Amino acid sequence: MKERYFSLLDVDRFWIIWISCLEKPRCLEEIAQHWKYKTPTALYHKYKGVLLADWMVENGYLKFCGKDGKRKMYLALIDNFVGGDKEDIKFWHSEWIRSSLFNLQHIKTLFRAEEHGYDFIGKLGHDFYPFVFTYVMSVGTEMASESWLRNERKMSKPWIKILECALVLCYMLLDVESYVKVTKPALLHHKKEVLKFCFRKKEY
């Protein structure tokens, strides 16, 4: 019988580990505590005798960041989702992105962790990068429209509202509104970086 092709992205625990390490380096034990696992052994998933987290390191989804005592620390990388674009990678790996958009508490709010625990992360984790990319682009479009329509701000408001509604509708299972509320101030504060990411124009 032909062996099924194994993809890291097929594994629910891949997303739990990856998303939990976006903000800062974490060990599997800390991740298990965040998601209220009874024991961290649930995250010591193996494939062909190799720890899942080590597979993720080998395939560029995690970076090994040393040890805290005997515990390995991992930092999530977003490189594989942006097609190797160095400017995009630099944007997503910036400290302010990690502390705001990638803040674990904010992500837990997005995935309704209080209601669903880690279930939504395991099932919908693959939506996180597409969601956060669309979100940043919508805010960048809002910023640009305010500049272009400086004398006709009323005209821009319906368009901005449409973008916000589209984001909510595309990701109906997620708590988009609460996530936007706690993360948008950081995007507004870093307007220059957001516009450069969205439009690649130095004049911003």
Percent helix / strand / coil, the chain, rounded to 5: 60, 10, 30
- Give 161's pLDDT tier (boundaries 50, 70, 90): low
Q: What is the pLDDT of residues 57-66, one digit of tens each?
A: 999 999 999 9
pTM (predicted TM-score)? 0.85
Strand, helix or coil for residue 104? helix
Which of 35-49, 120-134, 170-184 bottoms out in mean pLDDT, i.e. has the lowest? 35-49
Q: What is the pLDDT of residues 180-203, one digit of tens each?
A: 999 999 999 999 999 999 887 444
Element housing 65 (H / E)? strand 62-68
Of 83-87, 138-142, 156-160, the least confident = 156-160
> Is the domain 1-77 a CATH 3.10.450 member?
no
Distance from the first to the final alpha carbon of the chain: 57
Distances (CA, A) of 119 to 67, 115, 181: 28, 9, 23
Give the whole-angstrom CA distance, residue 37 versus residue 200. 43
CATH 1.10.10 placement within the chain: 1-77
Which residue from 2, 7, 118, 3 is spatially nearest to 61, judged by alpha carbons?
7
Report whether pLDDT(102) > 60.
yes
Question: Which of residues 169 and 188 earns the better pLDDT score?
Answer: 188
Residue 11 has pLDDT above 90, yes or no: no
